[in-house]
Amino acid sequence: QDTGAAAAVTIRPAEPTKWDAAIYATWLGERWPDSSFDSNRWYGVASGGAQVGYHLTSHLKVELDVATSSQGQIYSFEVIPVPGSLTPLYLQRKHDFRVTTASAGLEYQFFENAWFHPLVGTGLEFLRERQHIETAFQTFSPRDPRATAMPPQPETLVRYAARPFIAGGFKAYVSDHTFIRSDLRVPWSPDGVAGLAWRSGVGVDF
């Protein structure tokens, strides 16, 4: 029996996936950068978005995502001295916010060929914040000299910002190519933490 011509058999792992995509829902807390008054500077909103990633290696991935929020509110108060009156004018302003973001980052995924992968990431987030402001005056007698003051018209302001962020979370597979994902993202500004985004969603590898 001739055994010298035995065929060589090579077993290779299946081609790893390079792309993944996910949709997610978010609880978003944003910190208003204006510190000109003493009040709660945080507001919370619901948000949703989508992301797509490309694996440079089995652990390192480039990721892009976009998101937009529902409307959030915050109130501010201002005291304005009035000439000829011993009592100042009290203003209350209602600020309605809506946030849209687009970001790019790098993510490191721990473990390989496992169903559960912790992950950490960092990157840059581009923010567009639309703010609608309505001002309300207190009520007072027509004889009060402050009655001649007319409330200002509503105004809309738009703010843009670029903010670095860090993130940490996990990716857990429920089938060969389907996973659930949850993470916490923290963007930063020159005066500290600018927001918190707790994101949870589902995605696929392809």
Q: How far apart are CA 182 and CA 171, in angstroms?
A: 7
User: How confident is the model over 85-122, as pLDDT tens digits?
Assistant: 677 777 788 889 999 999 999 999 999 888 999 999 99
pLDDT digits 0-9 by tens, 186-201:
999 988 999 999 999 9
For 13-148, strand residue ranges (E) read: 19-31, 42-55, 60-69, 72-80, 89-109, 116-137
Query: Residue 102 in contact with residue 135, Cβ under 8 Å?
Result: no
How far are the Cα atoms of 28, 127, 204 from residue 59, in angstroms, in the given order?
A: 28, 28, 16
* Eight-state DSSP code of residue 8: P
Which pLDDT belongs to residue 93?
Answer: 83
Structure tokens at 4: 């010298």
Q: Which of 200, 194, 206, 199 is nearest to 41 (CA)?
A: 194
Structure tokens given for 134: 């309505």
pLDDT for 136 beyond 60: yes
Model pLDDT for residues 22-81, shown as the tens digit of each residue: 999 999 999 877 665 555 678 889 999 999 999 999 999 999 999 999 998 888 877 777
Statement: the pTM of the whole predicted model exceeds 0.85: no
Residues sharing a CB contact under 8 Å with residue 157, sequence separation 6 or more, in sequence order: 130, 131, 133
